[in-house]
């Protein structure tokens, strides 16, 4: 109630007039009432009423927040956070080595960034995740929908069809091995058409469309409350050309990162971004580092770097708050993103997807 | 989309005039400002500014489509999804041929046959759909002056002797291949920017640029400091325009 007038979200002209008239705290405004206010600072009664309503809303919202109610700032103890995190879902990637180093898969409510050279498999992983997020809960998934924002145009529907078909087949095989009532019910809705209809695709041609889309995302997510994954494929591409003003670029990227964090937290969704690599020319050698600069590195919670090593694809966990840094190898098959098969496995066992190594979590989840 | 004038969005007339006093006329300018700056410029309260932001965003945000709709659209006319190269192993690996609607890059050391491949693709694109072609014109942007019309006719006559049995058919084919010789980066970029109208008027179904690397390497020496940024600027700008053309008209580039 003792809030200063200058901090209220009113129009600047109105604020200037209030300051000139000598008002200092919000309480004074509320005490004066709309008629008095309109006479003192020379605005119409309707405008005065509107301003008072804004002030009242702000003060009440503020009071509710300090009482620990639901608001934009939440206070909770670490124990509550621990319980929340343990029930947190993960989006599996079908590559158990990658899931292991990530601590279970791509985590919800966190921003994961995938960096890599062109052609190493970033878009493949994104498409795989867009399919995997829809796996029903009884089979180890989060049963959500996916939003795919594409800035590079590398989204191939046929490839998603292949991956989705392989995923459906995999789930059917598991359900056959462990027949249960809810498995069968879930599989009825888990079909190719359903998977494809729940991937919402946006094609942004430049950074203005990307900014506009991210502004509109919270509304979209409230309408489609089952969305659990937001993929932005190619966040670097629209920002890397046509930008003379680097400080504007940093500011826009930071604003984007903050909005994505809010979206991830409020809607319990995982946000996955893909980034390009750029060459940093050092004293005697040049190294490949993620693009968009150092300040962008703070935006993502988890950072994966994909790179090549003599025709073997490797993934390195570069930055993570809870897991340690490690590197694993992965494969991209016609079914999608997979583990590297150990050489002892003969080709005939490739088809049996009942390999328990690949689905360690079904047992854990059911408990 | 970015250059869309604010006048054409849902904003009121007086708001647009007020913003234009601060030199904010397009959606791009509007969305680049932070909320506080917007409040100062529009003179509105915080919540009003958020509503304005939503309106402007809706005006330039892309349309949503589900993956299922995209698949349905593709399956409606499957033949137009690829340009078959008539080299069957290559087509098998590429899942049908050169994909329509995206960029394909062909790289190799000199002398391997890139320009020959491009010339053959131009012939294929002019063939009618029944023979596996795209039945349309071709835009060929040549930066190395390596295109030879005689070789074009030789390929056409020897590869499809039954189709090109008359001079008339050969003439028709050569008339649908539009060759542009560009020798500098600037002119290549200008040519790419101007392609949109030509594609519509001439019913173009294939764009070939032979080659991007030669003109870039000639002009930008990577040892000089500022050149690297300029070079990547030029390349990404060209790439995004080409991607837009490929997707918009569903043609291979």
Q: What is the pLDDT of residues A33-78, one digit of tens each?
A: 778 777 777 778 888 888 888 888 777 766 655 544 344 456 778 8
Give pLDDT tens digits for B23-47: 777 777 788 887 778 877 777 777 7
Q: Say whether pLDDT at B163 is over 80.
A: no
Tell me, what CATH number does B44's domain have? 1.10.150
Question: Could you tell me how far CA A62 lies from the centroid of its own chain?
Answer: 28
Q: What ipTM is given for this predicted complex?
A: 0.74
Q: Which of B28, B39, B62 is most worth mutating to test chain A (most A CB atoms within 10 A of its CB)?
A: B62
Residue A340's SS3 state is: coil
pLDDT tens column, B63-76: 888 888 877 777 76
> Which pLDDT band holds residue A355 (cuts at 50, 70, 90)?
very low
Check residues A205 and A73 and name the one with the higher pLDDT: A205
Instruction: Give the per-residue pLDDT at B28.
Output: 78
Please, which pLDDT band fits residue A204 given cuts at 50, 70 and 90? confident
Domain count, chain B: 2
| A206·B44 Cβ contact <8 A | no
Both A45 and A97 in one domain: the answer is: no
For residues B138 and B182, state if they share a domain. yes
Q: Do B237 and B135 share a domain, yes or no?
A: yes
pLDDT at A361 over 50: no
pLDDT computed for residue B111 by the predictor: 80
Q: Tokens 């040892």 appear where?
A: B223
More confident residue, B89 or A354: B89
How large is the average pLDDT for residues B179-186?
83
- Residue B80 has what pLDDT? 61
Residues of chain A numbered 131-150 and touching chain B (CB < 8 Å): 148
B105 with B163, same domain?
A: yes
Chain B CB contacts of A213 under 8 Å are 57, 61-62
Rounded to an integer, the average pLDDT of B8-13 is: 75
In a domain, B10, yes or no: yes
Residues A35 and A88 in one domain: no
Q: Give the mean pLDDT of A239-267.
A: 84
Query: CATH code at A53?
Result: 1.10.150.20
Reply yes or no on whether the pLDDT at A293 is more than 80.
no
Output the pLDDT for position A345. Answer: 38
Residue B69 lies in a domain: no
Residue A363 placed within a domain: no
User: Do B97 and B134 share a structural domain?
Assistant: yes
Q: What is the pTM of this model?
A: 0.77
Q: Within chain B, what is the greatest distance between any pair of CA atoms? A: 75
- Specify the higher pLDDT residue, A326 or A244: A326
Nearest CB to A205: which of B1, B65, B71? Answer: B1
DSSP SS3 for A352: coil
Q: Could you tell me the CATH number of the domain that includes residue B158? A: 3.40.50.300
**Torsion, Cα of A252, A257, A261, A262 (10° steps):** 0
Find all residues with CB under 8 Å of B226, minimum gap 6, and list them: none
B143 and B178, same domain (yes or no)? yes
Q: Is residue A244 situated within a structural domain? A: yes
A354 band by pLDDT with thresholds 50, 70 and 90: very low
**Minimum CA–CA partner of A51 in chain B:** B45
Tell me whether A198 touches chain B (CB under 8 Å). Answer: yes
In terms of residue numbers, what domain contains B54? 6-60
Q: Which residue range is the domain that position A23 belongs to?
A: 5-61
Query: Comparing A228-232, A330-334, A358-362, B169-173, which segment has the lowest mean pLDDT?
Result: A358-362
How far apart CA A8 and CA A26 sit, in angstroms, is: 8
DSSP result, A30-66:
HHHHHHHHHHHHT--HHHHHHHHHHHHHHHHHHHHHH
> Which of B64, B74, B243 is closest, CB to CB, to A157?
B74
* The pLDDT of residue A347 is above 50: no
Q: Cβ-count burial of A1 within 10 angstroms (0-12 exposed, 13-18 middle, 19+ buried)?
A: exposed
Residue from A351, A349, A331 nearest A340 by CA: A331
In a domain, A364, yes or no: no
Read off the DSSP letter of residue B130: G
DSSP A220-282: HHHHSTTEEEEEEE-SSHHHHSS---HHHHHHHHHHHHHHHHHHHHHTT-EEEEEE-EEEEE-
Does residue A98 fall inside a structural domain? yes
What does residue A114 show for φ and ψ, rounded to 5 degrees?
-115, 120
């Amino acid at each position: 109630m003792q809030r200063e007038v200058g901090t209220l979200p009113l129009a600047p002209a109105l604020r200037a007039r209030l300051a000139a008239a000598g008002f200092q705290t919000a309480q004074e405004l509320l005490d004066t009432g709309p008629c008095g206010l309109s006479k003192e600072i020379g605005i119409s009664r309707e405008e005065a009423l509107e301003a008072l309503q804004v002030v009242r809303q702000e003060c009440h919202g503020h009071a509710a927040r300090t009482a620990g109610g639901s608001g934009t700032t939440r206070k909770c103890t670490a124990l509550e956070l621990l319980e929340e995190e343990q029930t947190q879902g993960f989006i599996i990637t079908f590559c158990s080595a990658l899931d292991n180093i990530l601590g279970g898969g791509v985590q919800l409510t966190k921003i994961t960034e995938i960096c890599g050279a062109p052609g190493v498999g970033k878009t493949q992983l994104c498409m795989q995740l867009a399919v995997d997020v829809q796996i029903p809960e009884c089979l180890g998934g989060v049963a959500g929908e996916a939003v795919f924002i594409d800035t590079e145009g590398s989204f191939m529907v046929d490839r998603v069809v292949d991956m989705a078909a392989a995923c459906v087949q995999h789930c059917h095989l598991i359900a056959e091995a462990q027949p249960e009532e809810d498995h069968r019910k879930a599989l009825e809705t888990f079909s190719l058409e359903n998977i494809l209809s729940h991937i919402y695709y946006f094609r942004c041609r430049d950074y203005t469309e990307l900014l506009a889309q991210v502004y509109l995302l919270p509304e979209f997510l409230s309408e489609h409350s089952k969305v659990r994954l937001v993929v932005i494929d190619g966040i670097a591409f629209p920002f890397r050309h046509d930008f003379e003003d680097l400080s504007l670029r940093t500011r826009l990227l930071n604003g984007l990162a903050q909005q994505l964090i809010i979206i991830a937290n409020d809607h319990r969704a995982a946000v996955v971004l893909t980034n390009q690599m750029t060459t940093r020319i050092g004293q005697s050698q040049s190294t490949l580092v993620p693009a968009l600069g150092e300040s962008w590195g703070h935006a993502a919670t988890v950072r994966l770097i994909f790179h090549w090593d003599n025709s073997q694809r490797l993934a390195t966990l570069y930055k993570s708050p809870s897991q340690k840094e490690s590197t694993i190898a992965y494969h991209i098959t016609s079914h999608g993103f997979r583990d590297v098969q150990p050489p002892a496995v003969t080709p005939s066992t490739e088809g049996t997807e009942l390999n328990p190594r690949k689905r360690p979590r079904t047992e854990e989840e059911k408990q | 989309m970015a250059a869309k004038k604010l006048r054409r969005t849902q904003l009121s007339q007086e708001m647009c005039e007020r913003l234009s006093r601060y030199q904010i006329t397009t959606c791009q300018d509007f969305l680049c400002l932070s909320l506080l700056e917007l409040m100062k410029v529009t003179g509105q309260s915080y919540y009003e500014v958020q509503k304005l932001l939503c309106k402007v965003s809706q005006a330039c945000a892309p349309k949503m489509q589900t993956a299922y709709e995209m698949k349905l659209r593709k399956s409606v006319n499957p033949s137009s999804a690829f340009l078959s190269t008539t080299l069957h192993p290559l087509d098998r690996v590429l899942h049908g041929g050169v994909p329509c609607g995206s960029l394909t890059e062909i790289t190799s050391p000199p002398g391997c046959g890139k320009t020959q491949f491009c010339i053959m693709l131009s012939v294929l694109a002019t063939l009618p759909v029944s023979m596996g072609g795209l039945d349309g014109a071709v835009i060929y942007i040549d930066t190395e002056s390596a295109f030879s019309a005689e070789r074009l006719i030789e390929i056409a006559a020897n590869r499809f002797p039954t189709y090109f049995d008359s001079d008339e058919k050969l003439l028709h084919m050569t008339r649908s291949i539009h060759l542009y010789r560009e020798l500098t980066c600037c002119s290549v970029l200008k040519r790419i920017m101007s392609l949109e109208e030509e594609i519509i008027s001439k019913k173009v179904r294939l764009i070939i640029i032979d080659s991007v690397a030669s003109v870039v390497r000639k002009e930008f020496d990577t040892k000089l400091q500022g050149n690297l940024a300029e070079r990547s600027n030029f390349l990404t700008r060209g790439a995004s325009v080409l991607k837009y053309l490929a997707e918009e008209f569903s043609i291979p580039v």
